[in-house]
Amino acid sequence: MGLSADALKRGLDAIAAKEPAIARALEAAGYPEPRIRPTGYATLLRTIVGQQVSVAAASAVWARLETLLGPGIAPEALLAADFEALRACGLSRQKQGYARSLCELVSAGTLDLENLPGDDEEAIAQLVRIKGIGRWSAEVYLLFAEGRTDIWPAGDLAVQAGLHKILGLDERPGEKAARDLAEGWRPHRGAARRRSSPGTATTTPRSESAGVQGAMAFMNPAMSTSRRLRPSASCVVSVISTRL
């Protein structure tokens, strides 16, 4: 499961003890609420369904798929469905390819989502075998579903912007610099990037396919349906946003 409130607080307190700027930001904005998603196939399928569409549209597509294929949309049922039936539910040709990729890997047993490698990079490598799932989506899954404590999306522009603002840097750091800046925060970097701030827009990392922002919002229906900061954005970004 995702990081609990206690785990988030412990992690952020550990980082704040090393980084005074983070301590000041936490004092101003407080601690994030936990956001936990189930592990497994359905969460990743929701990611695919939610790409490039609104939360409401993704929910409608999901409901039609469940009506056609049954609750939970079993991988075998989706693989057996024909193209036109899935398209009538709202799945484009591209998304059908992504969904079938996920279903094939799960059905064949070559992707065991309940027993991903303990090493974060190895787990990411397993997840990005799924068509349509890039590194960012894999990282978000590992943080919010598996509760891995040290996930740090250094390529996320929101994280980079947050570091720029809260650490008082002369310019927004690139991916390498963002990774280097947080190196001393191990093994709590997942807490540092945990909190999102509805109402603040950001940009998808260049390496990630378009539309994952909507996908992750669909995975967490409690989020505002207005423009929002992507769920991978760090607590650093959220505490800054209170001052903008």
Beta-carbon contacts of 65 under 8 Å, excluding residues fewer than 6 positions away, are 49, 73, 78, 86, 89, 91
159: confidence class by pLDDT, cuts 50, 70, 90: confident
pLDDT at 96 over 70: yes
We find that the CATH architecture of domain 5-36+149-209+226-241 is Orthogonal Bundle (1.10)
Which CATH fold topology does 41-133 show?
Endonuclease III; domain 1 (1.10.340)
Give the closest residue to 39 by CA, choosing from 104, 106, 125: 106
Q: Which of 13, 82, 120, 156 is catalytic?
A: 156
Could you tell me which residues are beta bridge partners of residue 198? 228
- What pLDDT does 218 receive? 55
136: confidence class by pLDDT, cuts 50, 70, 90: confident
- The question of whether 156 is a catalytic residue gets the answer yes
Q: What are the boundaries of each domain within the chain?
A: 5-36+149-209+226-241, 41-133
pLDDT at 173 over 70: yes
Angle at 148 between CA 142 and CA 152, to 5 degrees: 80
pLDDT at 4 over 60: yes
Same fold, 5-36+149-209+226-241 and 41-133: no
- Lowest-confidence region among 106-110, 128-132, 160-164: 160-164
The C-alpha atoms of residue 70 and residue 68 are separated, in whole angstroms, by 6
CA 100 to chain centre: 21
224: confidence class by pLDDT, cuts 50, 70, 90: very low
**Pairwise pLDDT comparison (31 vs 174), residue with the higher score:** 174
Could you tell me which residues are beta bridge partners of residue 228? 198
- What pLDDT does 232 receive? 33
- Give first-to-last CA distance, the chain, whole Å: 32
- Contact 24/227 with Cβ under 8 angstroms? no
pTM metric for this prediction: 0.76
- Lowest-confidence region among 45-54, 138-147, 229-238: 229-238
